[in-house]
Amino acid sequence: MRHSIESNENQKYKIIAVDDEIGIIDSLSVFLKHSGYTLVGCTNPYEAIEKVKNEHFDLMLLDYMMSPIHGDTVVEEIRKFNQELYIILLTGHKDLVPPLETIKRLSIQGYCEKEDKFEQLLLLIESAFKSIDQMNIIKSINAELVESKEQLEKAYLESIQTLRYTVEAKDTYTRGHSDRVSAYSVLIGEAMGLSENELKTLRIGGLFHDIGKIGISDAILLKESKLTDDEYSEIKNHPSIGKHILSNATIFQDIIPIVYHHHERYDGRGYPKQLKGEEIPLLARIVAVSDAFDAMTSKRSYRNELDLDFVKNEFDRCSGTQFDPEIASIFLNILNQNYQKILEIKERYQ
């Protein structure tokens, strides 16, 4: 009965698969039909571009090494008229994946090595549709909003809470974490003399910074042992997924830079864009400090919370490399002079 319900639910999604090998298309068709998905197959990439232009598809599974044009060229053409289509790139071998910069530039949401059982691909497809569902909720909210500022604010906050609770339901660590990151960020912003509007954006952005984790497989997100390189690469995709989810609603534009850039590093070695110094949006630099502090001072399945003196030394050591030195200095001053407020936040959001 459960499989039947899931199959019916999956039928609402429309997938297009593009591969110049008919055998791959046939295998995908059989595999996805068994999971209840509707698949349209194309062996001609030019025909696929026209189909996407004239029909609605929720997801594209796209072979990279094709003839007469490669997958990245297909995406480039599609992005000229469709920015929303969720695209997963398929490769014969992970060494054949295009450069990361190309994947980011073309807004390719994921990639997967071809394999006989397609198990990893199914996980990516399930994660994709979770993201698409949330994006559709936001689009629906945006379409229904009236111009009244009061109603706009109310819908804004309620939609944020709804999506945030969805993430928290799958990752218990995120529950208190997002609240604390939000509160710590506002504390820093106040010490920096930011405006009320900036503080509001910080508060909401902090609550919402990990929303992209809704598109990460539960098996990876909840894994207690060390992640593999491939699993860590998927985790690192959550800022891009978060940006993609929020991109359709004008009401979320102010917090997107926080969601997208809170894992950048001051020395340019962060992700997803390797921004450096003041290229990183100010509010994202603030949330990066708060996020790191809460990660170090929270109990995890694999360790207890770290000693406060150790944490202070880490902020001092990483000032100017991982963290904006001015923001790190301000936060260290809060830890040294006003630690009671930190304790109040920790107690409030246990």
Tens digit of each residue's pLDDT (9 = 90 or more) over 293-340: 999 998 766 667 889 999 999 999 999 999 999 999 999 999 999 999
Phi, psi dihedrals of residue 285, rounded to the nearest 5°: -65, -35
Neighbours of 256 (CB within 10 A): 21
- Copy the structure tokens of residue 198: 């900036």
d(CA 58, CA 85): 6
Catalytic amino acids? 213
Residue % of the chain over a pLDDT of 70:
84
Which domains can be identified in the chain, with CATH numbers? 2-131 (3.40.50.2300), 149-348 (1.10.3210.10)
Q: What confidence score (pLDDT) does residue 199 get?
A: 95
Q: Can you read off the two tokens belonging to residue 62? A: 């796209």
> CB-based burial of residue 289 (10 Å sphere; 0-12 exposed, 13-18 middle, 19+ buried)?
buried
Of 62, 79, 68, 31, residue with least CA distance to 46 = 68
Alpha-carbon distance of 304 to 313, in angstroms, equals 18
The stretches in the chain having pLDDT less than 50 are 1-7
